[in-house]
């Protein structure tokens, strides 16, 4: 599919740290291959622009931008922490007109997955239902008109309608307090994890915990999607295929700069970007 644009735009509000760096790296790659000029810190975005965003939380106006782009039919590329090893910001996922890939497809070996030194663990059969609360930003982006505490309370009450299992809750912690094993070690004796679609859910699935993911995303075929199914969980057999795909669709800075990332993703989405 040929996609034609007038320019590449990096909007105002993108933070001055990692988001700006990775977005600029990708924008430069797309510019070289397409001939499009890059405009930074742009206020007014219009049809004909290809916008480069730095993740859901990467800039102050994401929710407004995201909704506006859908209404105005404006395309965007999103750069965000990778699906695996998300606690170590070395690899970045790249998506087109979505925050996370919505389809797992393609043929990938486990060679790249092996480089992450992660294991897909056997399913555990625990007792507790684990509510992993999203951030307020995550609720806002998904159009959920609740604050975090309200979401936890309503989710808890819904779970209690369907099971008497004990419930434990985890709120999203500040970045400096997060870590990989901190979350993974908290998955002992877990029956299932309930959340929106978060990176934590991806880790839970890899660690052997079935998930109830309440919004669609790349795990949509590896979960149940509502709490009323809590007594009929899904234990997918093809998790290796999922993680082979996810690790091949996230990239380090060298791959963002060299063009490997964009070449891979443009093929994945079946798009060819050129200048109007």
What is the Cβ-side half-sphere exposure of residue 202, based on CA atoms within 13 angstroms?
A: 25
Could you tell me the two tokens for 74?
Answer: 């404006």
> What span, in angstroms and rounded, lies between the C-alpha atoms of 154 and 152?
6
Q: pLDDT tens digits for 44-97?
A: 888 999 999 886 544 445 556 667 787 889 999 989 888 876 666 789 999 999
List the beta bridge partners of residue 79: 94
Cβ(230)–Cβ(162) under 8 Å?
Answer: yes
Of residues 121, 68, 77, 124, the one with CA closest to residue 96: 77
Q: Average pLDDT of the chain?
A: 88
257-274 burial by CB neighbour count: b if 16+ within 10 A, else e? bebebbebbbebbeeebe
Average pLDDT over residues 209-232: 95
pTM exceeds 0.85: yes
- What local confidence, expressed as pLDDT, does residue 180 receive? 52
> What span, in angstroms and rounded, lies between the C-alpha atoms of 169 and 131?
5
- What local confidence, expressed as pLDDT, does residue 57 receive? 47
> What span, in angstroms and rounded, lies between the C-alpha atoms of 112 and 181?
21
> What span, in angstroms and rounded, lies between the C-alpha atoms of 7 and 276?
9
Q: What is the CA radius of gyration of the chain?
A: 19
Cβ(75)–Cβ(96) under 8 Å?
Answer: yes
Quickly count: other Cβ atoms within 10 Å of residue 246's Cβ: 24
- What local confidence, expressed as pLDDT, does residue 142 receive? 77
Could you tell me the two tokens for 10?
Answer: 């990096």
- What local confidence, expressed as pLDDT, does residue 58 receive? 43
Average pLDDT over residues 179-187: 74
59-77 burial by CB neighbour count: b if 16+ within 10 A, else e? beebeebbeebeeeebbbb
Cβ(190)–Cβ(203) under 8 Å?
Answer: no
- What local confidence, expressed as pLDDT, does residue 87 receive? 60
> What span, in angstroms and rounded, lies between the C-alpha atoms of 200 and 194?
10
Max Cα separation, the chain? 60
Cβ(28)–Cβ(77) under 8 Å?
Answer: no
How deeply is 57 buried, as exposed, middle or buried, from its count of CB atoms within 10 A (0-12, 13-18, 19+)? middle
């Amino acid at each position: 599919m040929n996609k034609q644009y007038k320019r590449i735009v990096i909007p105002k509000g993108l933070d001055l740290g990692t988001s700006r760096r990775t977005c600029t790296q990708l924008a430069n790659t797309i510019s070289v291959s397409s001939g499009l000029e890059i405009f930074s810190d742009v206020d007014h975005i219009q049809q004909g622009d290809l916008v480069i965003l730095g993740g859901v939380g990467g800039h102050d106006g994401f929710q407004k931008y995201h909704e506006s782009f859908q209404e105005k039919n404006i395309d965007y590329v999103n750069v965000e922490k990778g699906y695996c090893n998300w606690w170590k910001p070395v690899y970045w996922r790249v998506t087109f007109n979505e925050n996370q890939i919505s389809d797992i497809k393609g043929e990938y070996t486990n060679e790249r997955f092996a480089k992450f030194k992660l294991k897909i663990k056997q399913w555990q059969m625990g007792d507790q239902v684990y509510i992993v609360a999203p951030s307020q930003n995550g609720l806002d982006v998904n159009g959920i008109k609740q604050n975090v505490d309200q979401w936890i309370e309503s989710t808890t009450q819904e779970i209690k309608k369907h099971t008497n299992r004990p419930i434990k809750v985890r709120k999203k912690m500040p970045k400096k307090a997060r870590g990989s094993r901190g979350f993974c070690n908290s998955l002992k004796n877990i029956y299932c994890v309930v959340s929106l679609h978060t990176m934590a859910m991806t880790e839970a699935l890899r660690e052997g915990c079935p998930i109830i993911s309440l919004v669609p995303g790349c795990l949509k075929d590896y979960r149940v999607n509502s709490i009323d199914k809590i007594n009929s969980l899904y234990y997918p057999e093809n998790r290796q295929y999922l993680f082979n795909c996810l690790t091949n669709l996230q990239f380090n800075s060298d791959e963002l700069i060299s063009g490997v990332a964009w070449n891979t993703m443009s093929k994945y989405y079946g798009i060819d970007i050129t200048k109007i």
